[in-house]
Structure 1
């Protein structure tokens, strides 16, 4: 029990530290959201007198007449109430609404792509590790080279080949604008069609890491005594590979996969930008460009909670699976 209490206490402190950084880091950037709104208002011929600026400061929670500590306390209080503030990028929409509109797109795209790359990498890594020393080993350098290729470059290549030259897939967007977003067959098919190239970019870039990790663990597992015992019993090679070697070799990859799921909500900023995909990554870039404190803090909060939650689940599961991790706690 002490082990689990210590883990929970650690993650509570980590969450508080992340929330504190989440508040102060955007305010260290040059400019502020009020300046952004005032510039927009001036471009449209609106009034820029001090009373308007003061009203914007109070609305956005960036009151220059209020001490930074008081703003920090108010920020934590608003978080407890679920109030993330008003987004400057899409003023006057609440930041929570902007996030909840974009988050499903990213979760579906990056989540499915992560699952596909993990499954493909584990399967290929199992086979390559089992048949080490054969021509299959040539898959390892090929996939690791692809993993080293920048996301945006690979995305541009896929757009140029499959989107522009062959015209198999659309170039931009998350769905055909003629359809109304909703759970209907036409919209879902359009969303899948538009998400194919972005997902393919993520899969190609990340499958090499899973393959290499699984391959190395398979090679290590095959030197263990239980593999030799299984061979001595006369078991089929396919059974030894799947039920003995792969079953034990996959454990570190499963832990890494659980943690990577926490980063799913952060999206893939470069990939989403290349394809103009309506995900959370594009909104984060838009928030940084507009000094949108509320939207930046809201997105960072979602990412922080997801990553800490995934790590907490992994730690707790390891405590259940392997009692040695609880030793001395």
Structure 2
């Protein structure tokens, strides 16, 4: 029976320390994970201030525009009496008899009650009801397509970066080329080829004409069929950015000492790739993905116009043209909340993936 010499044990400890330094794959302290309360408290204060500023801008911005929602509504409905128009202004919170400060206070009171106002563009329906009918379409199509694009681009970029110098490098210029094509042009090409010529997919709308939304296999099949072409277009158009970013970060991470030590210790390449290299390289991708969440809700106007797809993007465009203040504010509020929630989740994921954040703030 043999025992390891003190010198050998010392060298093994040095190799272990060299592997752990600089990598986010190890915990900051063995046995327990320190919760970075100061970090979360500071971020919570920042996001609360950002939410207040966004809601304040959301209140004042539509009021700086020319015209108002009532004037636009009267232009579409000429049989409204002046008394009814005045009542409508009071109902919409744009009563000229109230000061702008009182309107601001009333707006906050409505938000705390969960009341987003009424939409003049949609027959005086509650804004919350209008948004609830449009938001699922945007989240279901653009949200799912963005997540798939992020996953494929991140995994593909990690593999291309790991096998640098191989034939897989050709994927970068190909995907980047599609990323430079304007989305509306790519969508029109997809419609011309796969809808008009090959007749594989419908060219517009979220389901067949004359159908009404219902939970049935036939309707779900129609939604999938109508959503495939715009979803694939979104994935192709955004894949290049995710793949290029991940590949460049992988090239930087692979030159770190802890990667060299891990390979020298005989670790399997798959473990070195995913547990050490990719886990560190993905950190900037997480932040970029959080920023892209806002575009899932608000950046879909072009897609929804090209494919005549119902969603929040087209809703915002129609509300702006009609000067429907309440609906505009509701859409802006949804966009603001989605971006803030996405960034909060990104901070949590970042703190989980990078123990150095917990070390610094704990």
Question: TM-score over 0.5 for the alignment?
Answer: yes
Offset, 1:14: 0.8
Structure 1: which 5+ residue stretches go unaligned? none
The structure with the larger Rg is 2
What is the CA–CA distance in structure 1 between the aligned matches of 2:142 and 2:173, rounded to whole Å?
Answer: 24
Is 313-322 or 298-307 further displaced after alignment?
313-322
Contact 1:84 1:94 in 2 (8 A): yes
Q: Secondary structure at the match of 1:327?
A: helix
Contact 1:143 1:207 in 2 (8 A): yes
Counterpart position of 1:307: 339
Counterpart position of 2:157: 125
Counterpart position of 1:24: 60
What is the CA–CA distance in structure 2 between the aligned matches of 1:236 and 1:167, rounded to whole Å?
Answer: 48
Tell me if 1:84 matches 2:120: no
Tell me if 1:103 matches 2:139: no
**Counterpart selection for 1:57 from 83, 89, 105:** 89
User: Which residues in structure 2 correspond to 1:250-261 (within 5 Å)?
Assistant: 250-261=282-293
Contact 2:73 2:121 in 1 (8 A): no
User: Which residues in structure 2 correspond to 1:289-308 (within 5 Å)?
Assistant: 289-308=321-340
What is the CA–CA distance in structure 2 between the aligned matches of 1:221 and 1:166, rounded to whole Å?
Answer: 45
Contact 1:179 1:186 in 2 (8 A): no
Offset, 1:25: 0.7
What is the CA–CA distance in structure 2 between the aligned matches of 1:231 and 1:189, rounded to whole Å?
Answer: 48
What is the CA–CA distance in structure 2 between the aligned matches of 1:206 and 1:133, rounded to whole Å?
Answer: 24
Counterpart position of 2:5: none
Relative to structure 1, the CA distance from residue 38 to residue 119 in structure 2 (aligned partners, 3 Å threshold; closer, same or farther) is same
Structure 2: which 5+ residue stretches go unaligned? 1-36
Deviation per CA, 1:53-96, whole angstroms, max 9, x where unpaired?
Answer: 21221122111222111111111111110111111211211111
- Taking only aligned residues, the RMSD between alpha carbons, in angstroms, comes to 1.9
Contact 1:110 1:267 in 2 (8 A): no
Contact 1:121 1:207 in 2 (8 A): yes
What is the CA–CA distance in structure 2 between the aligned matches of 1:328 and 1:245, rounded to whole Å?
Answer: 24
Tell me the TM-score normalised to structure 1 length. Answer: 0.92
Tell me the TM-score normalised to structure 2 length. Answer: 0.84
Counterpart position of 2:51: 15
